[in-house]
Amino acid sequence: MAKLNPFEIAGRQLSECAKILKLDSGVREILRIPMREFHISLPIRMDDGSVKVFQGFRVQYNDARGPTKGGIRFHPDETIDTVRALAAWMTWKCALLDLPLGGAKGGIICNPKQMSKGELERLSRAYINRVWQLIGPDRDIPAPDVYTNPQIMGWMMDEYSKIVGKNQFGVITGKPLSIGGSAGRGDATARGGMYTVREAAKECSVDLKEATVAIQGYGNAGYNAAYLAKTLFGSKIIAVSDSKGGIFSKEGIEPEVVHEYKAKTGSVINFPDAESISNEEILEIEVDILVPAALENVITEENAPNIKAKILAELANGPTTPEADDILCKNGVHVLPDFLCNAGGVTVSYFEMVQNFNMDYWDEKEVHERLNKKMTSAYDSVLNTSKEYSINMRQAAYVVAVERVVEAMELRGWI
């Protein structure tokens, strides 16, 4: 099967929403095309003395509701269309959570697993050197994403501060706590997702204390989802996987123990007292809650008929194709769409921005309370819209978000 283009999928999802809202062609065109995008080259001196040129991107999709916001990914398979799609989804995500922000995304084509700490620092600083005039606390605020972390955000913030000649903690979120980071940011994506799972369980009459959970992807979001599902709800984690494969145990898996095992061995595979399972098989396990927490387009029209979960919680960006969406809806799977389910990360990033501006930092309990309120409100808006329009949850999330963006564009006189 040909590789699916995530930006085309994002466009198709937007087109469905535009039909529901009866938007005119001009508005559709403004919403369909990124406001601006940048392609940059990054020559880096490697540890062996050679020079390697990396390609990077930054897409600022729409800023009608406020400064753009979005992560920076380091990935060997990064493409401009992936970045465009993620910037679009970030636009809808910020609007859905009613944050005063627009959407953006960035990326560098590289394999951070094959780079030293020094090489990663030079690459991170070089990226900011190329884009510093395009970003800023009141213009465009990057954050961590796939294979980037608080340390990388710290280097980037420091580089920007050096260039502009003053400390600018608010230019980057997801930073270490000691240089302007926010309490609660580390597990925010997973925690926000689990708050929506809690609300979905009420709607679907799923007892979370008895629920079984499978998680594809065992990075930061996947591990924290497993840990929180167990500690917050008492749910049983029966399968997890990473890029090399997965494990299954009907008796249940201890998330922390598997996490420690992966840290030592580099993968969850061959974990003692568990069966081996593939990344494809984990999606089709009979389970109450399925959490795709890896990359795009893993649930397609080929495997969607075999999804047996009652709740599909999309912690990954774009894990489900439009054709699969239709099948899941017909089969009664309650889908928590990505830009609702994984919006905890950008929400706490927004909290970090507020704290940086005010120079007043909140404790973890306050961050969790504020996040809970935001995620619960967003879920309720999507569920109510789904029922009002008789549409699926993804379409409902788009309707809520796009209406808010269009309203801002109208009030600003763009349309």
Catalytic-labelled residue, pool 22, 52, 93, 105:
105
Contact 137, 354 (CB under 8 A): no
Torsion of CA 159, 107, 378, 387, to 10 degrees: 170
CA distance 322 to 328: 10
Contact 384, 340 (CB under 8 A): no
Residue found by looking up tokens 């608080």 in the block: 150
Helix (H/G/I), strand (E/B), else coil: 386: helix
Beta bridge partners of 142: 70
CA distance 188 to 200: 18
CA dihedral sign of residues 144, 196, 332, 242: positive
Q: Any idea how long the chain is?
A: 415
Residue found by looking up tokens 């951070």 in the block: 112
Note the Cα 141 to chain centre separation in Å.
15
69 carries an active-site annotation: no
Q: b/e for 77-92, b at 16 or more Cβ within 10 A?
A: ebbbbbbbbbbbbbbb
For the beta sheet containing 245-248, the strands, ordered from the edge strand earlier in sequence to the opposite edge, are: 275-277, 245-248, 236-242, 212-216, 289-292, 311-313, 334-336
Q: Dig out the tokens for 375 from the structure.
A: 């995620």
Cite the DSSP H helix spans in 271-363. Answer: 279-282, 322-330, 338-341, 344-358
Catalytic residue positions, numbered: 105
